[in-house]
Structure 1
């Protein structure tokens, strides 16, 4: 109430435009104060830790089909020590969940868990998670590049092309891979004609047969 009385008083001696500017600056100042308060709250939070509850604890709330089918994917192989389910389960990728499940905060944890489908989250959290395993050669799997590649520089993330919560990988099939790549690159590269003229059937090859999407 005092705030609006100040605006009215200001308006009585200044132009209407000046009063509006005063109101905008005041509101922005309140926003800055709230940001500072939130930052202070974050500093006072304890460090997030793994809950050690396993996937079952997460599925108590997050029990949709795309969550439960994780156990049917390579990431959900609990017998593989290199797979997320062989380590900390869902928290291997989404991050320590102790603050997320805290009853004191109603399940609203800070900082937020890694979300691989929401474009508003920082991509660095996704890269740290995926490359924490996939940048290394282990368990018969070759490590990938990515950082500094043209796909990285263009602002893409792992989830631009990959869906982890899925039992089928369309990128493993010729049609699925070509369709995904064509959604950005098209399939009309004139250089391909040079190969076709030499007897190479481009239409039978996956894009990744010649191009490494993780290290270009």
Structure 2
């Protein structure tokens, strides 16, 4: 059996590519409607309102009957689902995300390619709050320095991010052992001034056989 610490480490390794892309490709996924910058701090400190709000937003965005104007429909590729829950006015939006191979396979390399648009200059100090859930259980929640993670990943998109379109790819090796469950990844990114930058939601189902 997996201990919580071991599972958390596996999840971090498994979803590291998402953390990076969430931040640079991440204008999508958790807050449709009202996303408060002040809530980000509460969200990191309180398990009550923040987690409940996050869950409500996630369910709203992934509801197939949701036809709200401005809400992008989920992009599905095998057992991988992505949705941009950001606003058109956000500094960063993601237009597409593709993974190869699909579905991802434990112990093998996984390439993630993301395209999108940067509308305003994004400088050092931007950060993202990323939460990983399995069902109603929150496995982990971490705050990442967006620019630092981009530097570590050595991808073509680096800070300061100038306005314009981007097309990046990142490759990692997945752990050999991945628990057969569905992981939900929620990401909220903020600028150095604590303004909303991007919003993204991901779902990866490892319980489904290729």
Scaled to the shorter chain, the TM-score interval is: under 0.3
TM-score by length of 2: 0.23
Q: Higher helix share goes to which structure?
A: 1
> Higher strand proportion, which one?
2
Which one has the largest radius of gyration? 1
Q: Which has the higher contact order (CA 8 A, sep 6+)?
A: 2
Q: TM-score, normalised by structure 1?
A: 0.23
